[in-house]
Amino acid sequence: MRKFSGKKIVALLMAALMLVSVFAFASCGEKNPPANTDVTTDNGDVTTEAPVTTEPVTTEILPEVYEGADFEDYECNILLGLTTLGRNEFKTEESSSVFSNAIYLRALKMEEDYGVLFSTEEHFTGGFSANTTLAREYSAGDTNYDFTIARSYDVSKLTVNGHLYDLMELDNLDPSKPWWDQTVVKDSTIAGSLYFASGDISTLVNDFVCCIAFNKEMFKEAIGQDTQVLYQLVDNGEWTLDKLNEYSAYVSEDLNNDEVLDSRDKYGLTVWDSRVIATVHGSGGKVVSLDEDGYLTLTLNTERNMTGVSKFIEICMHDYVLNMVGMKGGVDWKTIFINKQALFTMSSFNSLDYFRNLDTDYGILPQPKSFADQESYYSSIVSTHACFFAVPTLQEDAGRTGAIAELLGYLGKSTLTPAYYDKTLNGTHIRDEESAGSIKICFDTKVVDLGDYFSVGSYYSQLAALLNNKQPDGFASMYEKFKNSADAQIKNINTQVDALKANND
| pLDDT band (50, 70, 90) for residue 127 | confident
Residues 232 and 347 in one domain: yes
Could you tell me the residue range of the domain that residue 76 belongs to? 6-205+385-436
Q: What is the mean pLDDT of residues 376-390?
A: 97
Residue 1 in domain: no
Residue 441 in domain: no
Residues 263 and 316 in one domain: yes
Q: What is the rounded CA–CA span in Å between residue 503 and residue 496?
A: 11
pLDDT tens digit string along 162-191?
Answer: 999 999 999 999 999 999 999 999 999 999
Task: Tell me, yes or no, if the pTM score tops 0.85.
Answer: yes
Residues 64 and 175 in one domain: yes
According to DSSP, the residues that pair with 82 across neighbouring strands are 124
Q: What is the pLDDT of residue 428?
A: 53
Conformational region of residue 68, where left means phi above 0, alpha means psi within -120 to 50, and beta covers everything else: left
| pLDDT band (50, 70, 90) for residue 282 | very high
Residue 125 in domain: yes
DSSP 300-314: ---HHHHHHHHHHHH
pLDDT tens digit string along 328-372?
Answer: 777 787 888 888 999 999 999 998 888 877 777 899 999 999 999
Please say whether the beta carbons of 281 and 378 come within 8 A. yes
Question: What does the chain come to in residues?
Answer: 505
pLDDT tens digit string along 34-72?
Answer: 344 454 444 445 555 555 443 333 357 888 887 778 899
Residues 201 and 310 in one domain: no
Residues 107 and 165 in one domain: yes
Residues 404 and 467 in one domain: no
Residues 167 and 36 in one domain: yes
Residues 362 and 456 in one domain: yes
Tell me which of 39 and 474 has the higher pLDDT. Answer: 474
Tell me which of 444 and 31 has the higher pLDDT. Answer: 444
CATH number at 348 reads 3.40.190.10
Residue 59 in domain: yes
CB atoms < 10 A from the CB of 394, how many? 17
Residue 401 in domain: yes
Residue 306 in domain: yes
Q: What is the pLDDT of residue 38?
A: 55
Lowest-confidence region among 26-30, 81-85, 269-273, 393-397:
26-30
Residues 322 and 469 in one domain: yes
Q: What is the pLDDT of residue 265?
A: 87
Residues 274 and 241 in one domain: yes
Q: What is the rounded CA–CA span in Å between residue 145 and residue 401?
A: 10
Q: What is the mean pLDDT of residues 216-221?
A: 95
Residues 286 and 156 in one domain: no
Count of structural domains within the chain = 2
| pLDDT band (50, 70, 90) for residue 7 | very low
Q: What is the rounded CA–CA span in Å between residue 359 and residue 428?
A: 8
Residues 38 and 181 in one domain: yes
Asked if pLDDT for residue 202 goes beyond 70, the answer is: yes
